[in-house]
Each structure stands twice: as structure tokens, then as C-alpha cells.
Amino acid sequence: MLSDRLRLRDIRSTSTFRLTVLFGVIFTIGVAALLGLIYGLTAHELNARSDRILRLKAAQLSEIPPAMLVQRLRTELDYNTSALNYLALRDRSGRIVIGNIEPPSDLRLDKPVDIAPRPGLPRPLRLLAIRTDSGETLYIGRDITPFADLRQRVLAILIVSGLSIAALVFASAIALSVAPLRRVRDLQSACREIGAGNLDMRMPILGRGDELDLLAETVNTTVEEVGRVVAQVKQATDAIAHDLRTPLTHLRNRLDRVRHDGRLPADLASAVDLASADLEEVLGRFAALLRISEFEAGRRQEAFGPVQLGPLLHGICDLYEPLAEDGSIMLSLDIGMDVTVHGDEKLIFEALSNLVDNALKFTPPGGIVGVTLIRDETGNRIEVRDSGPGIAADERNAVLRRFHRAADAAEIPGLGLGLSVVAAIMHLHGFGLELDDAHPGLLVRIRCPIRQDTGQHVPTNDDRQ
């Protein structure tokens, strides 16, 4: 569902949403200004028409002699069949002499004004007050109910149309932003895959030729070139490791035969032992490099199957318990609930063993190494925590690369490939590998985000290709 993938605050942040809202606001302002202009011009014309009628009637009544004015007003009122005209005459004392309205006494003379309904004025009127030759005040009014209705309707139209346009603009902004945001999410997902080391992944191109397609094409070209260079480097590294392993093995065997020859002096025998140890370390490095290349190529998935992590972790802790006791280190295991994952049991055992072995190497005597299996709504997690010096935040990504060792690990025996092997195995299984601060020490977290206990296959990088 849309709500499961995209949130409103994400949509609001897109340039498409903002531009649509901006243009919608401009359009709404334009429509309101146009309606206001039409209303203003219409009201002005209607008022001018009413004023012409009022002044014409005032001019006619002004020509009537004062003695005949009351009779003429009475006649006008009797023949007021349209019920649109209103008349009133107020004497010098302010008393209404004749009329069908009771106008306010404080009106300005010779200036038509709108009068809202009130006691004595049953309808909205356009009213003109003039002074007669005898000093009396003559009021001439005209019903402007249609104008008042027009004003209310135009106001209602402005409000309703404004709200409707605002809702339409908001809905259009969301609708127009969903597709680009989904494309951006797809591009982000592809970038994460590429960043995780899957250089065979490519960013999706829809063929529209828009800016996102142009960006995707540029990134795909860059990734293809980077992948080609990395592949060449890996091929060269693997070729060197493979080609040198055989002669070095032969050399080690010859040294072993020479070492076991009893005719060697003691000093030469010691030198041969040192050379053999050096060759053994070099061969170990080559073997680890070839294994990492094999994992990264994904050629070990034929052995995948259900793996119970609980018994596996018990076996690892039992294996390293004597080593922990020799170093006066407490090795603890906490399994809240057993979890079954899909993978290669031997490879997972190797990766977790490397993590526990590293934790024991870097934990001082009296320290604690904890192994925890956690299952919650976010998925399954394996955590290996030690109380050693830890790894600086700016080095946590670097230590996952081949041969890189932390600055404070120079005195600790090792090849600098243990975490590289772990990262390759986790990548092969599609698991997440995170290094964090344990306060003190290092916390290594392995995430299995899918509910593995259902037996469902975990998608790996090869499955996504």
C-alpha cells in the first residue's frame, strides 16, 4: 500500500509537491483576483445604475412646488407597483411627514449610500437624501436586494472555490509527487545495493529521458567502469594468490624436509623454523583471499539450508570457553528464543567464530565477552560485545576491507582478514553487518531483517540480479 511505503512528510519534501503547491497558490490568487475584479466591476455598474435612477427621481421631485410635494409623494407611493422605490419626507423638526420608510436622520446630503435592513427599513436600500427649497429633507431609496444577494453569492463562490482549488491542488501535488518519489526510492535502493558491493546492480531507467533517467544513465556508466576496474584488480589479486600458492607450498614442504634432516646445525634449524612460519602466514593470507573472492562471487550457495542459530552459538561458546578461561575472560551467551535462518551452517559458524575470536583477543583479563541472540519486531539480531579498546568510528568501515588493521591492533597477532571474511559471508547471506560502540569495547551486530523462523528463503545479492 502507499501508506506502507511513502509517508506524507516525505512527499511534502519533494520539489514536485512544492512546485505544484506554489503554482496552485498562484492560480488560486489569480482566480480570486479575477472573481474579485468581476464582482467589483459588476457592483460598480449596478450602483451607478441605481444612482442614476435616484438622481433622476430626485431631480423630478425637486421641481415640484413645496405645497404640492406631499400630494406628489403620496401619488408616487400609491402607484409603486414594482415595490422597488422608497420615499420619505422629513420636516425641519425631524418628523416624518410622509413615506414608506424611516430613514436615519444623519445621512449625508446628495450622496447615495447603502443602508442595511433595520427597523423601519425592511430591505437593503440605496438611499439618497436631498434638501428641498422649503428646508425639508427628501429621501429617495431603491431596493438593492438583488445586489446584496449577488454580493453574498460571490463571497460564497470565492470561499467554496478557494477551498475546492486548495484541496484539488493538495491532492494533485500528492498525486504528482508519488511517482517521482517512488522512482527516487528505487534509485536509492539500487544505490544501497551498489554501495554494499553489488557492482552488477544497475539503476532503473524508464526510458522517459527525464532528469532521473539521465542521472541513472550517468551512475550506471560510472558503476560499470568502477566494476570493470574492481574486477580487474580482484582478478589480478586472485591470480597472484592462486599462482603463488603452489610454489610457496612446495617451498614450505622442502623447508620441512630440510628441517627434519638431523644434520642441520641448531642455528640453521631455527632459521628454517622462522622461514616456515613466515611462509605459513603468507599461505594463510592467500587462502583467506581466495575464500573471500569465492564468497563474493556467491559460489557457496549450493549448501544453503535451514540453520538453527541457538545450537550453533552454543557450539561456538563451548569451543572458545577454554580460551576465555585461560585469559581470565568471562564468555556469556544469552539466547532469548531460538531462530532458524537460511544459509550455510559452516560459513555462519566460521563468521561467528571469527567474531568471538576477535572479541577474546582484544578483551583484557577480567573483561567480558557477550554473545546475544535477539528476536523482535525488527527481525533477528546476533550481537557480539566485548570490553576491549573498541574501534574508532572513522575506522569501522575500513577494518572490513582486506588487510586493514586498527591503529591499536598492531601488537595483536592476525592477518587483517578476519573481519573481511565475516563481511563477505554476511554479504553472501544477505545479512547486515554493523560495528558500534559498546561503551566500552566493540559491539558487532548482525541483522537478519526477514523472519527467518518461517523457513522462508532470504534473498541474497545473487537472487536480486
Cα 152 off chain centre by:
44
Enclosing domain of residue 267? 211-297
**In contact, 154 and 169? CB cutoff 8 Å:** no
Do 178 and 233 have their domain in common? Answer: no
Local confidence band at 158 (pLDDT 50, 70, 90 cut-offs): confident
Distances (CA, A) of 68 to 64, 65, 75, 77: 6, 5, 11, 14
Confidence of residue 348 (pLDDT cuts 50, 70, 90): confident
Nine cell digits for residue 367: 573483561
Q: How far is CA 339 from CA 277, 335, 380, 384, in A?
A: 41, 9, 8, 16
For 384-399, the pLDDT digits (tens) are 988 888 787 777 776 7
Higher-scoring residue by pLDDT: 451, 215? 215
Residue 206 lies in a domain: no
Q: Is the pLDDT of residue 416 over 70?
A: no
Q: What is the CATH number of the domain that holds 443?
A: 3.30.565.10
Last residue of a domain, one of 297, 325, 359: 297
Pairing verdict, β 305-308 and 137-143 = unpaired
- How far apart are alpha carbons 99 and 110 in whole angstroms? 19
Q: 449 pLDDT band (50/70/90 cuts)? A: low
Number of domains in the chain: 3
Domain co-membership, 271 together with 314: no
Q: Residues 135, 269: one domain?
A: no
User: Which range among 98-112, 221-235, 252-266, 428-442 shows the weakest confidence by mean pLDDT?
Assistant: 252-266
387-392-396 Cα angle (round to 5): 100
Tens digit of each residue's pLDDT (9 = 90 or more) over 279-322: 776 666 666 666 666 655 555 556 678 888 888 899 989 988 98
Asked whether residue 49 falls in the same domain as residue 140, the answer is yes
